[in-house]
Amino acid sequence: GQQLNQSPQSMFIQEGEDVSMNCTSSSIFNTWLWYKQDPGEGPVLLIALYKAGELTSNGRLTAQFGITRKDSFLNISASIPSDVGIYFCAGQLPQGGSEKLVFGKGMKLTVNP
Amino acid sequence: NAGVTQTPKFRILKIGQSMTLQCTQDMNHNYMYWYRQDPGMGLKLIYYSVGAGITDKGEVPNGYNVSRSTTEDFPLRLELAAPSQTSVYFCASSYNREAETQYFGPGTRLLVL
Band the pLDDT of B66: cuts 50, 70, 90.
Answer: very high
Q: In this structure, are residues B3 and B95 in contact, taking their beta carbons and an 8 Å threshold?
A: no
Q: What is the mean pLDDT of chain B?
A: 95
Q: What is the mean predicted confidence (pLDDT) over A78-99?
A: 91
Per-residue confidence (pLDDT) for residue A13, from 0 to 100? 96
Per-residue confidence (pLDDT) for residue B2, from 0 to 100? 82
Q: Identify the CA nearest to B111 among candidates B33, B22, B23, B38.
A: B38
Residue A18: DSSP 8-state: -
Q: What is the mean predicted confidence (pLDDT) over B36-58?
A: 94
Per-residue confidence (pLDDT) for residue B59, from 0 to 100? 93
Q: Do B104 and A48 touch (CB under 8 A)?
A: no
Q: Please determine, for residue A18, whether its predicted confidence score (pLDDT) is greater than 70.
A: yes
Q: What is the mean predicted confidence (pLDDT) over B54-64?
A: 96
Q: Please determine, for residue B58, whether its predicted confidence score (pLDDT) is greater than 70.
A: yes
Q: In this structure, are residues A75 and A11 in contact, taking their beta carbons and an 8 Å threshold?
A: no
Distance, CA of A75 to CA of A79 (rounded, Å): 10
Give B81→chain A minimum CA distance, Å.
Answer: 23
Distance, CA of B15 to CA of B81 (rounded, Å): 5
DSSP 3-state of B107? coil
Q: What's chain A's Rg over C-alpha atoms?
A: 13
Q: Do A97 and B97 touch (CB under 8 A)?
A: yes
Task: Name which residue leads in pLDDT, B99 or B6.
Answer: B6
Per-residue confidence (pLDDT) for residue A1, from 0 to 100? 64
Task: Show which of residues 72-111 on chain A sit within 8 Å of chain B, judged by CB atoms.
Answer: 88, 90, 92, 97-99, 101-106
A30-65: pLDDT as tens digits: 999 999 999 889 999 999 999 999 999 999 999 999
Per-residue confidence (pLDDT) for residue A99, from 0 to 100? 83
Q: In this structure, are residues B13 and B112 in contact, taking their beta carbons and an 8 Å threshold?
A: yes
Determine the length of chain B: 113
Q: What is the mean pLDDT of chain A?
A: 94
Instruction: List residues of B whose CB lies inside 8 A of any A CB.
Output: 4, 31, 33, 40-45, 48, 56, 58-59, 90, 92, 94, 96-102, 104-107
In whole angstroms, what separates CA B103 from the centre of its chain? 12
Among A33, A40, A105, the residue with its CB nearest the CB of B40 is A105
Determine the length of chain A: 113
Q: DSSP string spanning chain B? A: ---EEEE-SEEEE-TT--EEEEEEESS--SEEEEEEE-TTS--EEEEEEEETTEEEE-S--TTEEE--SSSSB--EEESS--GGG-EEEEEEEESSS-GGG-EE---EEEEE-
Among A31, A45, A106, the residue with its CB nearest the CB of B42 is A106
